[in-house]
Structure 1
Amino acid sequence: MTTPHVEQHLQLLAHLRTILVAVADAEVVPENHHALFLERYDDMVSSLRESSEDLYVGQDIISQVFQRYPQIAHLVPRDLLWFFGGDCLHFMPDDEIDKYQQLEERRYQALENGEEFDWNQEIQLMFMPEKAPEH
């Protein structure tokens, strides 16, 4: 059974997979290597559905997305970098890591207090510009 937090990241992984398939459809990458990579990707997602205890394979796969497909690096959801951690954090600037750390602390505090925590809403609040433009 997955938690809502893991389920949200599974949805982001599904979105990223559609982007990876589109890269292959555009014939930007060699098909044989890409098919094997997608197979590993799908295996990682299946394993994550069963348990989120070991995120090392996910770290490796997401890092490979940046190395193999630099043309789509800007499309990789930032939440996935934070979720998998490890080497994935090398693709995040320090100020972004600090914000995710604060967000994670707030999430754990809410869980500890038995309160609801809406990750998406909190992300939007955390990453809003300091001062919104005035009209």
Structure 2
Amino acid sequence: MADANLDRTLNLLAHLRGILVALGEAEQVPEESHALFLERYDELMLLLPVEPIESQYLGQDLLCQVIQRYPQIAHLVPRDLLWYFGGDCLHFMPDEEIDLYTALEERRFEAEENEEPFDWDQEKQLLAMGQDGPRH
């Protein structure tokens, strides 16, 4: 199950990288510093599968920089990435969202303990519906 979590995280990082590349192509950011930032971002994507624990601080740093350097896309940063890297990234999540992710982690841990399948995205939807109630 840890591999599924890593795969999902890498996919989300790739998605966010696509947004960052588009931002640079739209010439909305200084080109040189943006290119250097993307190089560091690529380092994270290469390091994460090899050294997942050691790459946590780099991930925290880069995600916080995305929000601070590129506020125009902050709302597009996948919340799962903020939760995955934790630390300073959690400052960008409201308490209710942190509570949702904490409950999600508890469900994931329980499923692993019972050797049951766990679908992160499905469980997240179920928890979100339970918190907010059905919307019309």
Output the amino acid matched with 2:10: L
- Alpha-carbon offset, residue 132 of structure 1: 3.0
| CA–CA separation in structure 2 for the residues paired with 1:98 and 1:39 | 33
| CA–CA separation in structure 2 for the residues paired with 1:127 and 1:37 | 33
Check if 1:28 corresponds to 2:49. no
Output the amino acid matched with 1:118: D
Superposed, 1:51-66 pairs within 5 Å as 51-54=51-54, 55-66=56-67
| CA–CA separation in structure 2 for the residues paired with 1:41 and 1:26 | 19
- The DSSP-based 3-state class of the residue aligned with 1:120 is helix
Quote the RMSD (CA, aligned, Å). Answer: 1.0
Output the amino acid matched with 2:135: A
Structure richer in helix, relative to its length: 2
User: Residue by residue, what CA displacement relative to the aligned partner does 1:57-102 show, whole Å, maximum 9, x if unpaired?
Assistant: 1000000000100000000000000000000000000010001000
Select which of 122, 132, 135 maps to 1:132: 135
Give me the identity figure in percent.
Answer: 61
**Structure 1 unaligned spans of 5+:** none
Aligned length: 132
Which protein has greater RCO, CA pairs closer than 8 Å, 6+ apart? 1
| CA–CA separation in structure 1 for the residues paired with 2:135 and 2:94 | 22
Check if 1:118 corresponds to 2:119. yes
Q: TM-score, normalised by structure 1?
A: 0.94
| CA–CA separation in structure 1 for the residues paired with 2:9 and 2:127 | 18
Corresponding residue for residue 48 of structure 1? 48
- The DSSP-based 3-state class of the residue aligned with 1:115 is coil
